[in-house]
A and B are shown apart, each in its own frame.
Chain A
Amino acid sequence: DAGVIQSPRHEVTEMGQEVTLRCKPISGHNSLFWYRQTMMRGLELLIYFNNNVPIDDSGMPEDRFSAKMPNASFSTLKIQPSEPRDSAVYFCASHRSTDTQYFGPGTRLTVL
Chain B
Amino acid sequence: GENVEQHPSTLSVQEGDSAVIKCTYSDSASNYFPWYKQELGKRPQLIIDIRSNVGEKKDQRIAVTLNKTAKHFSLHITETQPEDSAVYFCAASKFQGGKLIFGQGTELSVKP
- Inside 8 A of A48's CB, which chain B residues have their CB? 99
A44 to B100, CA, bound (A): 9
Q: Flag if B45 contacts A103 (CB, 8 Å).
A: yes
B-side contacts of A24, CB under 8 Å = none
Chain A hits for B89, CB < 8 A: 43
B residues with CB within 8 A of A: 34, 42-46, 49, 89, 96-97, 99-105
20 A/B residue pairs, CB under 8 Å, sorted by A: A33-B99, A42-B102, A43-B44, A43-B105, A44-B102, A45-B102, A95-B97, A97-B97, A99-B97, A100-B34, A100-B46, A100-B96, A100-B97, A101-B34, A101-B46, A101-B97, A101-B100, A103-B44, A103-B45, A104-B43
A residues lining the B interface (CB < 8 Å): 31, 33, 42-45, 48, 55-56, 91, 95-106
